[in-house]
Chain A
């Protein structure tokens, strides 16, 4: 009979993930509910989780991460009820109350030799960290002059320690040494593990002060954000610390919010207001009230500008996701294809003439772009995109710098009207095999800088170039007459 935890995990995370858990955690599964609680607390339900863990070679890290919570539970059993103050007293320290003000911190500067004061005393640390000081009971007997050859863990160095936790979701611990910079790694005294002072101290701090100490160990999955509750959620795009996820979920400052689906549709880092048919950046929504902010600072967004004034919006579900059809006040409908995570995978717009700078710069999923009437493409457009395979920019004469900088999927490209190609065009691409630029006259530096796959380059009118990739340079010299070229 299938274990009830595995049954739950299979339902919410997929069969492969359940099998992985079965293989990795047989002993944890002997305690009903334990693994289910850990997984559900730390991972938003997702059928991508198995693939994202295995694709990035994180199986061992994932296992260690889960077992970290099992160990914490064991420590709880060993040191039930003892506070950090009590434990440190057992270790010979007086733990003073948490510093709440700069004046509280300055009280401890007297313990530090001249020139060895912590930069904590410089006055800004409380912005970033929670700060405690622990002082050995016999501190008055431990004199600096008796330690002419400092080492980090000697009696003087550890007689006054500042225990600091960063004010982030994972509260990174740093134990500051009394010698400060006079020893190596002074901010990692006791190897930044409170249990090296006395067992159970990490858990005591965690429980009494509501901290999530990772003891210097951390688990990360690419393209996942961890909320302040410790839950990992896969995101589509992060911009300005706003993580836009599937299912209308936004994570901002560690807080997870879901936009009401009857009012908004979140796609990439944009929001379609279903009541007004406006497309807005995700940060235009007040996450507390679920309303468009009454005041929006001026912003320019090339994607939003490309849509023009929208009269109406329609959504059509399909087997791959959804198509948004935006009807502008003037011109033809604009079509935006989304996958089942609401990431933009296709864009078709016959109205736009100027594609502004940074157009969909953070998008990494677009495969088809059709802007046949665009005359100019700005800088850094689709900068981080790696997936585009089809491009129709048949009337564009100028391409700004950094266009498709990270693309590695295009194999053939035809830009019939292109005259000017600015620097870093397809900078990292190493998949393009054929490139047709019948009217190009100027190509700037870092053009196809990493490409060694191009076999055919047609650029008969090329006059001026500044190409640094030797492979491409040789191809150009072979393909066209060198008499017409000047560097």
Chain B
């Protein structure tokens, strides 16, 4: 299950403060972005709810993302890999991202 979060501030150490606009609940995540322009305040991130749960087995900090290619997007869509993808929305466009590890 995905949630849409608005970036309301970006602190040092790549800490992103994200807010669910409906519930107002805030989450602070350390995020790294490779080969994509760093998001800015006001952008929206669409990610798996699991990644917000510190009790989730795969929870770790920071989460790292890079741009997903079309083959990967199709693979993720068909295999329900919710925790592997995210979507970044800014005022101009949408970028589909995949998790990278290590």
Using a CB–CB distance below 8 Å, which chain A residues touch chain B? 117-122, 124-125, 127-129, 162, 166-168, 172, 174, 176, 180-181, 184-188, 191-192, 214, 216-218, 222, 238-241, 253, 384, 406, 428
Contacts and interface: CB of A to CB of B under 8 A. Distances in A.
A172 B22 CA distance: 27
Contacts of B64: 119
Contact of A188 (B14, B28, B58): B58
A118 B60 contact: no
A240 B55 CA distance: 27
B78 interface: no
Interface residues of B, number: 27
B13 A168 contact: yes
B30 interface: yes
Contacts of B59: 188, 192, 216
Contacts of A217: 54-55
Interface core residue of B26, B28, B59, B60 (most chain A CB under 10 Å): B60
A292 to B, nearest CB: 23
A254 to B, nearest CB: 10
11 contacts: A122-B34, A166-B30, A166-B62, A168-B13, A172-B60, A176-B101, A188-B59, A216-B59, A222-B25, A238-B17, A241-B17
Contacts of B32: 119, 124-125, 128
Task: Return the 10 tightest CB-CB contacts between A and B, nearest first.
Answer: A118-B102, A172-B61, A174-B60, A187-B60, A185-B58, A166-B61, A181-B101, A119-B102, A180-B102, A218-B54
Contacts of B12: 253
A119 B34 contact: yes
B9 A187 contact: no
Contacts of A192: 59-60
Contacts of A191: 57
Nearest to A118: B102
Contacts of A127: 13-14
Contacts of B100: 119, 181
B15 interface: yes
B79 interface: no
Contacts of B22: 428
B24 interface: yes
Contacts of B17: 238, 241
A128 B13 contact: yes
Nearest to A120: B102
Given A174-B61, A180-B102, 13 more contacts: A119-B64, A128-B13, A128-B62, A129-B61, A172-B61, A174-B60, A187-B101, A188-B57, A192-B59, A216-B55, A217-B55, A241-B9, A384-B24
Nearest to A384: B24
Contact of B54 (A118, A167, A168, A216): A216
Nearest to B98: A181
Interface core residue of A121, A128, A216, A240 (most chain B CB under 10 Å): A128
Nearest to B22: A428
Interface in B32-67: 32, 34, 54-55, 57-62, 64
A184 B58 CA distance: 8
A185 B57 contact: yes
A239 B41 CA distance: 12
Nearest to A218: B54
A128 B15 CA distance: 8
